[in-house]
Amino acid sequence: MQARCGEGCSEKEQYLCYLAGRLLYTHEARLLGLDSRCIYPEVQPAPDSKVMMLIDNLEKNYYDTMAEKGVQIVFCDIAVNDDDGHFSVYEAIKEELVKRGIPREEICFAGDAQTDKARAEMYEKLRAGEKRFILASTTKLGTGANVQDRICAIHHLDIPWKPSDLTQQDGRGVRQGNNFSEIGIYHYLTENTFEAYMMGIITNKAKFISQIMTSKDPVRVSEDVDETVLTYSQMQAIASGNPMIKEKIQLDNDIATLKTLETAYKSSRFKLQDMVERSLPVRIESYAAILQKASADLKDFQERHPEDAEFEMIIDGKKVTERAEAGEAIEQAIIKCLAKNEPVTLGSYFGFELTVEPNSANGTFFGEGSPAVAVLKGNLKYTSEISMNNPLGNLRRIANIAGMQISQKIKKVTEDLEQARANLERAKEDLAKPFEHAEELEAKIQRLAVVNLELSKNHAFDDDDDEPIPIIDDSLDEDEPTVDESRVDDRDKTGQRQSVMVADAVPVKPMIQQSKPKIR
């Protein structure tokens, strides 16, 4: 049944009629997934319909939390009002609860409070447990309602268009300030209805949003999947009722996970290849050169400074053997260095050029070191802080540079060189390893191709319409909902689709960091 315009309509008018028809089909398909009485008021609800399952859960939770005065929220965005003779699922739920002995005054609708004052009074009664049930749409109670004090269960009777709506709905109870340590989160789905397609849309949107929020490129890592996406996909599979669609969804999720691992594997290979071909060889070469120079410096010092050698220092071309004279000369060099803020060449110490330089550490905001450093230069440079009014201490530091610092340098560079060589060998081994899940990924991709082919063969066509029944797909560019007319008009008018419920207990205390439930 397509929406048709009269003869003589323009192409634009025909297109608008076509869109209006598709929106009508979509809305009616959602209504049938909720309750067949939305389309056929004379139909009696089946005991296993999702509305009746909801009422059973509401009644059970009501009596189970009688002592704590537990409050339950039912979220539903469609079939809200009973105006113009339309079926209202809100009124149906309320009347059934009253039949089961629940006081009418303990049940309220969020839409009944039209003013800020009325809403405040309603919320206060919910927080106090005077009202035990509230039926609401996402817009009426999804945000800005602080009623969490006694929330023991949240029921999602229909499926919204945005993942954030589900998150906001759960956030009415899964938050700090709730007296219950755990609350029940219930999702109700009707098999073989448009709700399977709705869950497909939610899954795709959740996947894309997750990539953006986790800084993952949605183009290059488009198959990434997280816990939220898997949760929605599982509910989509439950709603489909078709074993092939269930298998397809499971394969899609498995392939997405394996491709994420494959992406991580390829990324690590690029890093390993860079380490093997460039960074580690350059590092090894640098360490080897430093080690060679430091070893040559140590050998030169040991040859020129035997263990029994007397103190001597060449200052301004003159050999100085008195420590006091050398210490004074060093302090004069410090004064000159600080006055000009530039290095001062003092002379040499057992073959190493000796200079006094400004201490670069004092150029920082937190610099609290000595004003100058003594520098011994051979093949490499070795430094030690020196200060005023400490002549003998300055001489000891200079002696320690040559006697100890060169040996420590050799030891450190030798360890770094050995570690770099070990890292290179390990990187070569890791680079040679294949992707461990390659065979599993290929098998699942091939199986998915077979499943997709079978699903495409099972497309159903209406005699008056060439448009096939939509098959659930994970592509990100199919956001516009469609439904075939045969799924709306050729429905059994005497019964209800089989409904299923997905539920879990979600902890509330300590403070919740995320509000999405984990679906088993």
DSSP 136-153: E-HHHHSSS---GGGEEE
Residues 6+ apart with CB under 8 A from 335: 388
pLDDT value at 76 more than 80: yes
> How many alpha carbons fall within 13 Å on the CB side of residue 274?
6
pLDDT the model gives residue 23 = 66
| Shared domain check, 485 and 378 | no
What is the Cα 442 distance to its own chain's centre?
27
* Whole-number Å distance between alpha carbons of 339 and 333: 10
| Shared domain check, 160 and 26 | yes
| Shared domain check, 377 and 491 | no
Does residue 110 form part of some domain? yes
Residue 61: CATH number of its domain: 3.40.50.300
Say what angle helices 89-99 and 50-64 make with each other, to 10 degrees.
50
pLDDT value at 361 more than 90: no
Lowest mean pLDDT among 279-293, 359-373, 458-472: 458-472
Report the number of distinct structural domains present in the chain: 2
pLDDT the model gives residue 471 = 35
Residue for token digits 């023991």? 152
DSSP 444-461: HHHHHHHHHHHHHHT---
| Shared domain check, 109 and 38 | yes
pLDDT value at 153 more than 90: yes
Give the pLDDT band of residue 141 (cuts 50, 70, 90). confident
Would you say 358 and 371 are in contact if contact means Cβ atoms under 8 Å apart? yes
What are the distances in angstroms from CA 488 to CA 306, 492, 520? 102, 10, 31
pLDDT the model gives residue 503 = 54
Give the pLDDT band of residue 310 (cuts 50, 70, 90). confident
> Could you say which of 377, 404, 431 is where a domain stops?
404
Does residue 40 form part of some domain? yes
pLDDT value at 30 more than 90: no
pLDDT value at 283 more than 80: yes
Q: pLDDT (tens digit, 9 = 90+) per residue, 180-210?
A: 999 999 988 887 777 776 777 777 677 667 6
Percentage of the chain surpassing pLDDT 70?
74
For residues 107-125, average pLDDT: 91
| Shared domain check, 91 and 198 | yes
Does residue 432 form part of some domain? no
pLDDT value at 133 more than 90: yes
For residues 346-365, average pLDDT: 81
Does residue 173 form part of some domain? yes
pLDDT value at 237 more than 90: no
Give the pLDDT band of residue 3 (cuts 50, 70, 90). very low
Give the pLDDT band of residue 317 (cuts 50, 70, 90). confident
For residues 457-481, average pLDDT: 40
| Shared domain check, 309 and 227 | no
| Shared domain check, 189 and 50 | yes
DSSP 292-358: HHHHHHHHHHHHHS-TTPPP-EEETTEEE--HHHHHHHHHHHHHHHHHHTS-EEEEEETTEEEEEEE
Does residue 456 form part of some domain? no
pLDDT the model gives residue 43 = 83
Percentage of the chain surpassing pLDDT 90?
31
Lowest mean pLDDT among 117-121, 246-250, 469-473: 469-473
What is the Cα 43 distance to its own chain's centre?
45
The residue among 115, 162, 170 whose CA lies nearest residue 142 is 170
| Shared domain check, 200 and 331 | no
| Residue 504: strand pairing partners | 185
> Could you say which of 369, 387, 404 is where a domain stops?
404
- List the domain range (segments joined by +) for residue 194: 11-241+481-507
> Could you say which of 404, 429, 455 is where a domain stops?
404
pLDDT the model gives residue 462 = 38
* Whole-number Å distance between alpha carbons of 93 and 73: 12
For residues 291-316, average pLDDT: 86
Does residue 145 form part of some domain? yes
Dihedral pair phi/psi, residue 6, rounded to 5°: -75, 170
pLDDT the model gives residue 438 = 92
For residues 235-257, average pLDDT: 73
pLDDT the model gives residue 118 = 92
pLDDT value at 172 more than 80: yes
Instruction: Indicate yes or no: pTM above 0.75.
Output: no
| Shared domain check, 48 and 118 | yes
Does residue 427 form part of some domain? no
CA angle 160, 507, 191 (to 5 degrees): 35
Give the pLDDT band of residue 226 (cuts 50, 70, 90). very low
pLDDT value at 161 more than 60: yes
Mean of pLDDT over the chain: 78
pLDDT value at 491 more than 50: no
| Shared domain check, 313 and 225 | no
Does residue 419 form part of some domain? no
The residue among 188, 114, 203, 106 whose CA lies nearest residue 154 is 188
| Shared domain check, 232 and 113 | yes
The count of other CB atoms within 10 Å of the CB of residue 338 is 17
| Shared domain check, 355 and 217 | no
